[in-house]
Amino acid sequence: MTASTLTLPRQSRSGDLRLLWLGTALLALCLLSIAALSLGARATGWADIWGALTSYDPNNADHIVVRNMRLPRLIGAGLAGAALGMSGALIQAMTRNPLADPGLLGINGGAALGVVLCILVLGVTDPAEFIWVALGGGLAASVLVFLLGGGSQANPLRLILAGAAVSALFLALTRALLLVSRQTLDVYRFWVLGGFDGILPATLQSLLPFLILGALLAIIAGFGLNALMLGEDTAKGLGVRTGFTRLIAGAAIVLLCGATVAMAGPIAFAGLIVPHIARWAAGPAIGWSLAFSAVFGALLLIAADLLGRLALFGGNMQAGVMTALIGGPVLIWLVRRNGVRKL
């Protein structure tokens, strides 16, 4: 087996150890969420946070900051992180490639092209209005990749090649359009960094059904992916419908990643690094890997968004930039610790 092929970790975690890891991660998520509601340009005490959540006063400035600004941002970062973590775990299991991430299906490229066309043709400049064109572009690109990769009979290699080709094509078209319009470039460059500035409760409400459906499909696909990770012939020998499993997994990836890109723009590294950490903590079972990836992904994105708001980084660093700053060293540490063959 080549170094670029996903191998199953040899060790299998016990149920008690998995629950201990998961409980610790959930506790860390709660503490980090409180910090995200408290810290920022205007520090807020616990009493004001509790008051904003339980007895909101529209005339209280602290309540307004917590309820209308930090809470939607926190929920958005948590949902986006969980979605990217789960979609990353799915695509690495489906392609059996440890370097695969959700952008491999062309979702980021399709969303970017949709946003650029929206700015250039329709003159839209408010990022809040990019949601549906980004989601539509990502969905269209992923469907094209899936069809070019062989549909329900797609194999990992064809899927990867189709994804790389479609992503390169859409990226080239996006750059060509940006070259002819300086105004489009000025608007686009803030969206492409990926972040949660100005996210609204209505945005979360609109995209929540896509995320819920994607998560449900991911759980269903997980039953077949456990066998598929052992190889195509083995999976078929165990009675798994491999084409159906890939179709469900692909639909889950598209919904989860497409909704995230529509919400916050393309956020790099989260879908790549989080599944590696999840497998290190949970072992090879895809069901546990999905659960851990969701929690670890939420932790990463909330931490990235919080760090970007601190004075150390100027107070307005985008979460997409912070995930790369955090994820890069973590991936290097994992590779040096375990070696590429054990990722």
What are the tens digits of pLDDT across the range 186-225?
777 777 777 788 788 888 888 899 899 999 999 999 888 8
Domain limits at 285? Answer: 62-338
Q: What percent of the chain has pLDDT over 70?
A: 90
Residue 167 lies in a domain: yes
Number of domains in the chain: 1
- Of all residues in the chain, the percent with pLDDT exceeding 90 is 18
Q: Give the pLDDT confidence of 118-133 residue by residue, as tens digits.
A: 888 887 777 667 778 8
Span 222-275, pLDDT tens digits: 888 888 777 777 877 777 788 888 889 888 988 888 888 878 888 878 888 899
* 52, part of any domain: no
Residue 3 has a pLDDT of: 41
Give me the pLDDT at residue 1, please.
Answer: 39
pLDDT at 77: 93
Asked whether residue 315 carries a pLDDT value surpassing 80, the answer given is no
* pLDDT-derived band at 104, boundaries 50, 70, 90: confident
Asked if residue 131 belongs to a domain, the reply is: yes
pTM for this one?
0.84
Residue 9 has pLDDT above 80, yes or no: no
Residue 335: pLDDT above 80?
A: no
Residue 42 lies in a domain: no
- CATH number, domain with residue 175: 1.10.3470.10
Q: Considering the domain boundaries, does residue 25 fall inside one?
A: no
Of residues 295 and 92, the one with the higher pLDDT is 295
In a domain, 7, yes or no: no
Q: Mean per-residue pLDDT for 132-140? A: 82
Write the single-letter amino acid at 265.
G
Residue 56 lies in a domain: no
| 29 in any annotated domain | no
